[in-house]
A = this chain, B = another copy of it.
Amino acid sequence: MTNRMHNFNAGPAALPAEVLRKAAAELEDYNGTGMSIMEHSHRGESYETVHYEAIATAKRLLGISDAYDILLLQGGASLQFAMVPYNLLAQGKKANYILTGSWSEKAKKEADHLGETYSGASGKDNHYSRVPDFDTIRTDATDAYIHLTSNNTIYGTAWQDFTRVSEWEAPVIADMSSDIFSRPLPVENFDLIYAGAQKNIGPSGVTLVIISKTLLEKTAAIAGDVPAILRYRTHAEKTSLYNTPPTFAVYMLKNTLQWIEANGGLQAMDARNREKAGRLYDAIDESDGFYRGHAHPSSRSNMNVTFTLPTEELTERFLEGAKNKGFSGLNGHRSVGGCRASIYNAVPLESCEALRDFMVAFQKKHQ
């Protein structure tokens, strides 16, 4: 593991080196069972233990009460864009999508196929450089639900605080794909949270859903005639063993969550992630405008740091130089360009410091 790359991929992304080492060591023979965890039946004891430990560890880390169920599903966050309205967008109601970036737009677009939606706030006019002020967001008690994206992976902005979403009367739903388990989270202020695992908590192929039992009850009337596989209740009733789960992805999820726990939990992740992001934002702020952050300082993400250089040509030279130095994944999303450093839980501080040093040196040379 001495040759580890500086991995700034946006997802799938860096995993903890310890978690990979453990997976490699027991890949052919899991726990002395004479077979790989991938070869175990999902109805057998070995896998079931992994499955329920993944769920229990997630609950423990988030301090979740029994008022919530945790589901482990397939299909990525993109399937949740459809499952949410299938289960919650009743006829005659409108779903309220707060638009803070491309992913919230996509979520709304899927819901548009299934019912009525509107947008109670949008950052589109400021190029999604900030999350709307809480007081400017329109909501209504009759909204089918209010949907937000906690961290905007592409634009590098994030909701800073979730205290006041508890003021909303309608169910609150959040796509937390790119910041779940990166900081403490008041789950009790939400009714449903979903996240693809492939940024902070595992490989791609498994999606975590946290749903309040009260909301789950409500889905019965709305999703009655939706195919069973698309109903949250199906999966809740079968503890996510309705059909074959993505067993190896769940195993990696479990081990990654246990790594978070062993490393101090969400408070510790938050402190570390702030420090890591701080290194890069400092480099931007101290560059006299050579590096321009896309996010307004009040909306900065600690997961995705987005910036450009004075010219497109310099941006390209920067990206090429960085690549040659062993920094991976710094290209901005193909829809916006520029640079983006994704620094999820498993990215070490040293990688951020190495990138900061590279930024400073590059500026010196090219300014």
A residues touching B (Cβ–Cβ < 8 Å)?
1, 3-5, 7, 9-15, 17, 20-21, 23-25, 27-29, 33-36, 38-44, 47, 74-79, 81-82, 109-110, 113-114, 196, 198, 203-206, 225-230, 242-249, 252, 326, 328-329, 334
**Contact present for B38 and A15 (CB under 8 Å):** yes
Across the two chains, which residue of chain B brings its CB closest to A29? B3
Give the complex CA separation of A39 and B24 in angstroms. Answer: 14
Interchain Cβ contacts under 8 Å between A and B, 15 examples? A3-B29, A7-B35, A10-B41, A12-B47, A12-B247, A20-B28, A24-B24, A27-B27, A42-B204, A78-B242, A203-B248, A204-B248, A205-B247, A205-B249, A249-B249
Partner of A15, one of B39, B42, B249: B39
**Contact present for B35 and A243 (CB under 8 Å):** no
**Contact present for A226 and B39 (CB under 8 Å):** no
What B residues does A1 contact at CB under 8 A? 28-29
**Contact present for B35 and A27 (CB under 8 Å):** no
What B residues does A326 contact at CB under 8 A? 34
What B residues does A75 contact at CB under 8 A? 74-75, 79, 229
**Contact present for B20 and A27 (CB under 8 Å):** yes
Closest approach, in angstroms, between the C-beta of A84 and any C-beta of chain B?
10
Partner of A24, one of B28, B40, B248: B28
Partner of A82, one of B15, B20, B205, B230: B230
Give the complex CA separation of A36 and B28 in angstroms. Answer: 17
Give the complex CA separation of A327 and B39 in angstroms. Answer: 13
Closest approach, in angstroms, between the C-beta of A234 and any C-beta of chain B?
10
A28-B21, A205-B205, A227-B82 known; A244-B35 Cβ under 8 A: no
Across the two chains, which residue of chain B brings its CB closest to A244? B204
What B residues does A44 contact at CB under 8 A? 9, 328-329
A4-B35, A74-B76 known; A227-B81 Cβ under 8 A: yes
**Contact present for A113 and B14 (CB under 8 Å):** no
Closest approach, in angstroms, between the C-beta of A52 and any C-beta of chain B?
17
**Contact present for A228 and B39 (CB under 8 Å):** no
What B residues does A329 contact at CB under 8 A? 41, 44
What B residues does A43 contact at CB under 8 A? 334
Give the complex CA separation of A89 and B5 in angstroms. Answer: 49
A204-B247, A244-B196 known; A33-B5 Cβ under 8 A: yes
The 9 closest A-B pairs by CB, nearest first: A205-B246, A5-B34, A82-B227, A78-B243, A24-B27, A38-B203, A74-B74, A110-B227, A204-B244
**Contact present for A35 and B5 (CB under 8 Å):** yes
Give the complex CA separation of A12 and B30 in angstroms. Answer: 14
Given contacts A9-B44, A12-B244, A205-B205, 13 further A-B contacts (CB under 8 A): A24-B28, A38-B203, A41-B329, A78-B242, A82-B227, A82-B229, A109-B228, A110-B227, A110-B229, A114-B227, A203-B248, A204-B245, A205-B248
